[in-house]
Amino acid sequence: MSSIIQGVLPVLHTPLQVDETIDRDVLQREIDWCYELGVDGICGAMVSEVLRLTYAERLELTRLMSEISDGRGAVIASVGAESTSQALEYARQAEETGCDAIMAIPPVTTALPEQALWNYFSALAEQCHLPLVVQDASSYVGQALSIDFYRKLLDEYGPKKIFFKPEASPIGPNLSALRDATNGQAQIFDGSGGILLVDAYRRGICGTMPGVDLLDGIMGLWRALQADDDETIYRIYFPICAIVALQLQAGLDGFLAIEKYLLVKRGLFPSEQRCQPNAWDLDHETQAEVDRLFDLLIQAL
């Protein structure tokens, strides 16, 4: 591992051309913008549309993330898959391309018993040399993981190997339960677009993995939290919360639709192209509210 896994580590949105292939030039612009804002690294994960990319595209995304990042920060590759062999293939490629860590959700097409989950995550921990971020994205996709399961992973492999991104509801109490069950050893990341970042920060997280669409706001909020500046914290936080609340109403596709709309609005992406099919498109009234809230965030910054 060449980079420290902590701080603000945004999850990239995958820029797609009309034929849904990855637009490398736009991805370069997105990653450069992240580092210009001062992030500590970049990730691939659910809002990167990894579950909808082809096998080759998913490998390409990981390779491009590492290549474009070029040592400027930690690179975390998404490797969660429907079989252990698939996940291990993605993990091997992450190692070969110079990533600093891998992140995995459980398989999403079936509810697995705990022993099967253990076999899946332990295979990743033992057969890949990189640190493993164990992600529970069950608030919008996949299967919930118990606090006891997290603790067993940490006991077996240690805090330098196993990190956590727990997003099962209720998120805040679960963060505290994991912290307390591991005597503060668990290195925990916040997700969910930043809507619970203030609460999560005060429960002792070591970093956050938001989307890129509101990243300037998240960076300002993170710095205000580090400075214990409540006035600035809440001035920035409230419009972020309101925008993410609109995203949450339509699950993963709500995040994707609004986030890609904002990336186009910012001039980072030329189009809102998403992998098809998807369950929800941004309607005019939601768009108008997103625009109002985005203006408030820019004013707050």
- Tens of pLDDT, residue by residue over 189-237, are 998 889 999 999 999 999 999 999 999 999 999 999 999 999 999 999 9
Is the full-model pTM beyond 0.85?
yes
Give percent above pLDDT 90 in the chain. 90
pLDDT reading at 2 higher than 60: no
Distances (CA, A) of 263 to 20, 94, 248: 17, 26, 17
Q: pLDDT value at position 146?
A: 92
Q: Output phi, psi for 42, to 5 deg.
A: -140, 160
> What is the mean pLDDT of the segment spanning 123-134?
97
Binding-site entries for pyruvate: 209
Q: Output phi, psi for 164, to 5 deg.
A: -135, 140
pLDDT reading at 171 higher than 70: yes
**Token duo for residue 271:** 């189009």
Cβ neighbours for 190, distance < 8 A, ≥ 6 positions apart: 165, 171, 175, 196, 197, 200, 201, 205, 207, 208, 209
Cβ neighbours for 103, distance < 8 A, ≥ 6 positions apart: 43, 44, 45, 76, 77, 78, 79, 80, 132, 133, 134, 135, 165
Dist. CA 42–CA 73, nearest whole Å: 7
Distances (CA, A) of 206 to 22, 98, 232, 238: 31, 23, 20, 22
The CATH fold of domain 7-214: TIM Barrel (3.20.20)
Whether a cis peptide bond, with omega within 30° of 0, leads into 113 is: no
* Average pLDDT of every residue of the chain: 95
Counting Cα atoms < 13 Å in the Cβ hemisphere of 201 gives: 21
Binding-site entries: 209
With bands split at pLDDT 50, 70 and 90, how would you rate the model's confidence at 150? very high
42, 79 contact by CB (below 8 A) = no
Q: pLDDT value at position 1?
A: 44
